[in-house]
């Protein structure tokens, strides 16, 4: 078999060589395809979905978002807020000081003996000798105890108190009543009397409680306690037990220090604990209970004239990051160089990803940050002097919060939308003529992606084409409030409200028979029209939008009048024939197969790669409409044939062709008077156009 094919090729080569004209070569005719087009009804419109009905007639379904209102830009605006406080020394508290002084019955006996008075010496020795036994104690007066020093210099050297108290128990552990007891507490060096008190009576084995106001007192770090005088009526002639270890105790404490000036080695102590609610006004009357921050910062400014190191801790209560960690920031403030040169620090902390509770410290309010500030002196072990002019100024601010979610009550507002114009490209391929539609169905879909109820009023909906306009007339829709349900939060699901427009309730058909290229609209959006219901269940996230979508359905039953469409085809003779110089003219054959009951007039213009028209191959060429059968359908497409003569010079122009533009004008034609004037378009309808080249070709082959 291979041998036979080889011999056949040699034979063909021989014939060609024998017939060759040595002067001009061998001319032959060459038939080759150039381009083709298969035009369906979907060429009339763009971005549409063609659906087929049960009878194979077609619908065009078109969906377009004409407006998206971003509520996050309106409802998620959180103003900056902060707390700024100045704390002076009178807010700095020194720790409670406890001290005890005591003396025993045995010590009192030794003091009696030391006086040298015979009666006192006798009594002192007698009591000591009767230890463990009993004795009838005589009455005594004018007794005293030497002063006892107390050293508080570990806590302060001296202090001028704005407020402060001393309180304690005076415990009589003796077997006799103590009367007319006078005691003093005074500064050891300066001698200033801090306390001077007289206690009428303390029964045996009993005690009394005393509290003393120290406001305005100057207290040194070393002071003395002195029992200046006390009396006893004795045991009233009755033998009482003798135990020389029995004690008379003064158990005191100094507390609630607040000073105007202090010189001390300040210990490591907490000097400030403040928890405050900071409530802010949010535009639009929103009352928020919770936010999640996508962006934001906590900014800290601290100025201290205190000449001791301080550690400040700021806590934003109810604020947690994605890991559940609280928002707590600690800052160390170095000692001020002097009272006139404060120590300052400035810091900023990122709040991205934090969730923040806004219900206040009692969880019963809204728009409220709860902030706690704690300050602690970090002891340096160095004695410092601090006066009331020394201060601690703290400023914390929460700024540039961009939330990704808010909850609570979003506020009540009225928003104007438009008038705005949106491009409408559904009919963009139709460049002329008009169309009469049997029906149009349009649904305006309001997709609410926020957790807030609202009303929408459509004030204007107008189709525009150049200077022509048609406005929507729909009494039940235009200028009427339409309730829009709120989105569901868990799981998130937008709420959809659909407004149906048809021939029955509007002039929607007239709008789209204009073949518009723009839609004009204006609306009012009423946010929370029923105000606050007290549930605080609104939510808005950073993706919350109110989308206005058009869902249009066109049953393809129509009348066309010079309905004009434009399409671009590949047209490149050089892709079909390698040796263009060998073409000596010929013809282009047009084959049209029309399966539509629409007559078409066709223009075919050829362009080079720069978009310059180089030839018009067809002008107002008529493609006849297909005939309808008795059921008003096309059975057999109608074919048309034609030939376009191409000279050699014209061929030289066409050799530069890059593409071709087909402009087709359609008109409804029917050979059946019984058919409706609106003709249905079915799924098997096509208009096919094919171009083939029938060229004279000089082989001039070299063998």
In this predicted model, which residue has the larger pLDDT, 434 or 200? 200
Residue 356 to residue 368: CA distance in whole angstroms: 10
State whether CATH 2.60.120 applies to domain 414-555.
yes
Q: Give, as one character, the DSSP assignment of residue 520.
A: E
Q: Give residue-wise pLDDT tens across range 24-51.
A: 444 444 456 677 766 666 555 554 567 7
Residue with tokens 């030794």, as numbered in its chain: 110
Residue 648 to residue 586: CA distance in whole angstroms: 8
Q: Inform me whether the pLDDT recorded for 575 exceeds 60.
A: no
Residue 623 to residue 591: CA distance in whole angstroms: 10
Q: Give residue-wise pLDDT tens across range 401-420.
A: 888 888 888 888 888 888 88
Predicted confidence at residue 453, as pLDDT, reads 87
562-586 average pLDDT score: 68
* Structure tokens given for 159: 């202090």
Q: Inform me whether the pLDDT recorded for 620 exceeds 70.
A: yes
Query: What's the burial of 125, exposed, middle or buried (CB within 10 Å: 0-12/13-18/19+)?
Result: middle
Provide the terminal-to-terminal Cα distance of the chain, rounded to the nearest Å: 25
Predicted confidence at residue 372, as pLDDT, reads 87
* Structure tokens given for 625: 């409409």
Mean pLDDT is lowest, of 88-92, 146-150, 271-275, 509-513, for 88-92
Q: How many other CB atoms are there within 10 angstroms of residue 553's CB atom? A: 17
Predicted confidence at residue 167, as pLDDT, reads 93
* Structure tokens given for 401: 């919060």
* Structure tokens given for 501: 């427009």
In this predicted model, which residue has the larger pLDDT, 146 or 12? 146
Q: Inform me whether the pLDDT recorded for 198 exceeds 80.
A: yes
How many Cα atoms are found within 13 Å in the side-chain-facing hemisphere of 528?
24
* Structure tokens given for 400: 């540039």
Q: How many other CB atoms are there within 10 angstroms of residue 369's CB atom? A: 23
Q: Give residue-wise pLDDT tens across range 316-353.
A: 888 898 888 898 888 888 888 876 788 888 888 888 98
Residue with tokens 């028209």, as numbered in its chain: 613
In this predicted model, which residue has the larger pLDDT, 227 or 570? 227
Beta strands in 478-610 (DSSP E): 481-484, 495-501, 518-527, 538-541, 545-555, 557-570, 583-594, 598-607
In this predicted model, which residue has the larger pLDDT, 608 or 693? 608
> What does the DSSP assignment read for 87-106?
EEGGG--PPPEEEEEEEEHH
Predicted confidence at residue 213, as pLDDT, reads 94
In this prediction, residue 230 has a pLDDT band, given cuts at 50, 70 and 90, of very high
Q: Tell me the pTM.
A: 0.57
Query: CA Rg, the chain, in Å?
Result: 52
Residue 205 to residue 398: CA distance in whole angstroms: 62
Return mean pLDDT, the chain: 81
* Structure tokens given for 549: 């979508």
Residue 527 to residue 414: CA distance in whole angstroms: 6
Q: Give residue-wise pLDDT tens across range 59-83.
A: 777 788 888 877 666 666 777 777 6
Residue 225 and residue 188 in contact, taking contact as beta carbons nearer than 8 Å: no
Predicted confidence at residue 135, as pLDDT, reads 93
Predicted confidence at residue 128, as pLDDT, reads 94
499-511 average pLDDT score: 88
Predicted confidence at residue 180, as pLDDT, reads 95
In this predicted model, which residue has the larger pLDDT, 269 or 131? 131
Q: Inform me whether the pLDDT recorded for 22 exceeds 70.
A: no
Q: Give, as one character, the DSSP assignment of residue 359.
A: B
Predicted confidence at residue 388, as pLDDT, reads 62
Instruction: Please give the share of the chain, as a percent, with pLDDT higher than 70.
Output: 85
567-590 average pLDDT score: 68
Angle, helices 105-114 vs 118-129, to 10°: value is: 150
Distances (CA, A) of 305 to 225, 273, 392: 36, 19, 7
Q: Inform me whether the pLDDT recorded for 558 exceeds 60.
A: yes
- Tell me the torsion sign for CA atoms 423, 424, 425, 429: negative
Q: Among candidates 598, 591, 605, which has minimal Cα distance to 560? A: 598
Predicted confidence at residue 48, as pLDDT, reads 54
Predicted confidence at residue 580, as pLDDT, reads 58
Predicted confidence at residue 641, as pLDDT, reads 87
**How many Å separate Cα 257 from the centre of its chain?**
47
Which CATH number is associated with domain 24-48+560-698?
A: 2.60.120
State whether CATH 2.60.120 applies to domain 81-89+267-409.
yes
Three-state secondary structure string covering 384-400: EEEECCCEEEEEEEEEE
Q: Is the peptide bond before 419 cis (omega within 30 degrees of 0)?
A: yes
How many Cα atoms are found within 13 Å in the side-chain-facing hemisphere of 513?
18
Q: Among candidates 286, 428, 313, which has minimal Cα distance to 378? A: 313
In this predicted model, which residue has the larger pLDDT, 108 or 691? 108
How many Cα atoms are found within 13 Å in the side-chain-facing hemisphere of 496?
9
Q: Inform me whether the pLDDT recorded for 571 exceeds 90.
A: no
Q: Give residue-wise pLDDT tens across range 458-480.
A: 999 999 988 889 999 999 989 99
Q: Among candidates 594, 680, 595, which has minimal Cα distance to 632? A: 680
Give the CA diameter of the chain.
174
Helix, strand, coil content of the chain in percent (nearest 5): 10, 55, 30
In this prediction, residue 175 has a pLDDT band, given cuts at 50, 70 and 90, of very high
Q: Inform me whether the pLDDT recorded for 295 exceeds 70.
A: yes
Predicted confidence at residue 23, as pLDDT, reads 41
Three-state secondary structure string covering 179-203: EEEEEEEEECCCCCEEEEEEEEEEC
Residue 234 to residue 239: CA distance in whole angstroms: 10
Q: Inform me whether the pLDDT recorded for 255 exceeds 50.
A: yes
H/E element holding 18? helix 2-19
Most confident of 79-88, 229-238, 669-678: 229-238
Residue with tokens 């609104």, as numbered in its chain: 538
Predicted confidence at residue 3, as pLDDT, reads 36
138-166 average pLDDT score: 85
In this predicted model, which residue has the larger pLDDT, 186 or 385? 186
Residues whose CB is less than 8 angstroms from the CB of residue 409 and which lie 6 or more positions away in sequence, other chains included: 286, 287, 288, 366, 528, 532, 536, 538
Q: Give residue-wise pLDDT tens across range 511-552.
A: 888 888 888 989 898 888 888 888 888 888 877 888 888 888
Residues whose CB is less than 8 angstroms from the CB of residue 91 and which lie 6 or more positions away in sequence, other chains included: 258, 271, 272, 392
Predicted confidence at residue 10, as pLDDT, reads 28
Q: Give, as one character, the DSSP assignment of residue 4.
A: H
Predicted confidence at residue 74, as pLDDT, reads 65
* Structure tokens given for 589: 């054959």
**How many Å separate Cα 690 from the centre of its chain?**
58
In this predicted model, which residue has the larger pLDDT, 2 or 253? 253
Predicted confidence at residue 675, as pLDDT, reads 76
Predicted confidence at residue 127, as pLDDT, reads 93
H/E element holding 232? strand 222-232
């Amino acid at each position: 078999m291979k041998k036979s094919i080889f011999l056949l090729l040699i034979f063909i080569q021989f014939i060609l060589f024998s017939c060759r004209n040595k002067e001009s070569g061998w001319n032959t005719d060459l038939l080759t395809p150039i381009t083709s087009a298969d035009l369906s009804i979907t060429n009339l419109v763009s971005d549409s979905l063609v659906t087929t009905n049960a009878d194979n007639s077609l619908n065009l379904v078109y969906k377009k978002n004409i407006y998206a209102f971003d509520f996050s830009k309106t409802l998620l605006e959180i103003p900056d807020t902060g707390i700024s406080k100045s704390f002076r020394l009178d807010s700095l508290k020194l720790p409670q000081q406890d001290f005890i002084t005591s003396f025993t019955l045995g010590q009192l006996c030794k003091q009696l003996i030391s006086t040298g008075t015979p009666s006192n010496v006798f009594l002192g020795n007698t009591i000591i000798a009767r230890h463990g036994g009993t004795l009838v104690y005589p009455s005594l007066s004018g007794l005293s105890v030497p002063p006892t020093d107390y050293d508080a210099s570990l806590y302060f050297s001296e202090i001028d108190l704005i407020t402060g108290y001393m309180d304690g128990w005076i415990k009589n552990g003796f077997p006799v009543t103590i009367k007319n007891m006078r005691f003093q507490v005074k500064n050891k060096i300066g001698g200033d009397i801090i306390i001077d008190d007289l206690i009428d009576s303390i029964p045996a084995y009993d005690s009394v409680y005393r509290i003393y106001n120290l406001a305005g007192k100057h207290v040194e770090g070393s002071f003395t306690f002195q029992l200046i005088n006390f009396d006893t009526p004795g045991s009233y002639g009755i033998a009482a037990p003798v135990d020389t270890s029995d004690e008379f105790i003064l158990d005191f404490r100094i507390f609630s220090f607040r000073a105007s000036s202090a010189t001390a080695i300040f210990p490591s102590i907490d000097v400030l604990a403040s928890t405050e609610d900071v409530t802010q006004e949010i535009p639009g009357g929103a009352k928020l209970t919770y936010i999640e921050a996508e962006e934001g910062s906590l900014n800290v400014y601290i100025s201290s004239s205190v000449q001791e190191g301080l550690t400040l801790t700021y806590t934003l209560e109810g604020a947690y990051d994605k890991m559940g960690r609280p928002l707590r920031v600690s800052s160390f403030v170095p000692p001020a160089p002097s009272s006139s040169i404060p120590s300052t620090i400035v810091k900023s902390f990122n709040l991205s990803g934090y969730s923040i509770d806004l219900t206040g410290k009692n969880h019963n309010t809204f728009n409220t940050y709860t902030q706690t500030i704690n300050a602690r002196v970090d002891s340096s072990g160095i004695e410092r002097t601090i006066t009331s002019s020394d201060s601690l100024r703290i400023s914390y601010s929460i700024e540039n919060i961009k939330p990704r979610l808010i909850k609570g009550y979003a506020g009540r507002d009225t928003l104007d939308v438009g008038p705005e114009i949106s491009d409408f490209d559904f009919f963009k391929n139709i460049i002329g003529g008009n169309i009469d539609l049997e029906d149009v169905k349009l649904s305006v879909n309001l997709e609410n992606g926020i957790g807030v109820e609202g009303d929408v009023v459509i004030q204007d909906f107008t189709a525009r084409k150049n200077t022509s306009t048609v406005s929507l007339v729909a009494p039940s829709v235009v200028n009427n409030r339409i309730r829009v349900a709120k989105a569901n939060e868990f799981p998130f699901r937008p709420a959809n409200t659909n407004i149906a427009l048809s021939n029955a309730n509007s002039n929607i058909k007239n709008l789209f028979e204009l073949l518009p290229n723009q839609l004009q609209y204006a609306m009012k959006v009423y946010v929370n029209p029923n105000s606050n219901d007290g549930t605080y269940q609104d939510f808005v996230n950073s993706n919350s939008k109110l989308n206005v979508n058009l869902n249009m359905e066109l049953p393809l039953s129509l009348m066309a009048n010079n309905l004009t469409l434009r399409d671009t085809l590949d047209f490149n003779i050089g892709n079909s024939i390698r040796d263009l110089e060998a073409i000596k003219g010929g013809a282009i054959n047009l084959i049209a197969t029309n399966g539509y009951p629409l007559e078409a007039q066709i223009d075919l213009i050829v362009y080079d790669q720069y978009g310059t028209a180089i030839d018009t191959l067809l002008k107002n060429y008529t493609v006849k409409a297909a005939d309808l059968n008795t059921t008003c359908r096309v059975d057999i497409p109608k074919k048309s044939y034609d030939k376009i003569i191409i000279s050699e010079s014209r061929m030289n122009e066409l050799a530069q062709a890059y593409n071709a533009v087909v402009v087709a004008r359609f008109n409804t034609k029917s050979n059946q008077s019984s058919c409706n004037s609106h003709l249905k378009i079915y799924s098997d309808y096509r208009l096919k156009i094919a171009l083939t080249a029938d060229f004279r070709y000089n082989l001039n082959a070299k063998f």
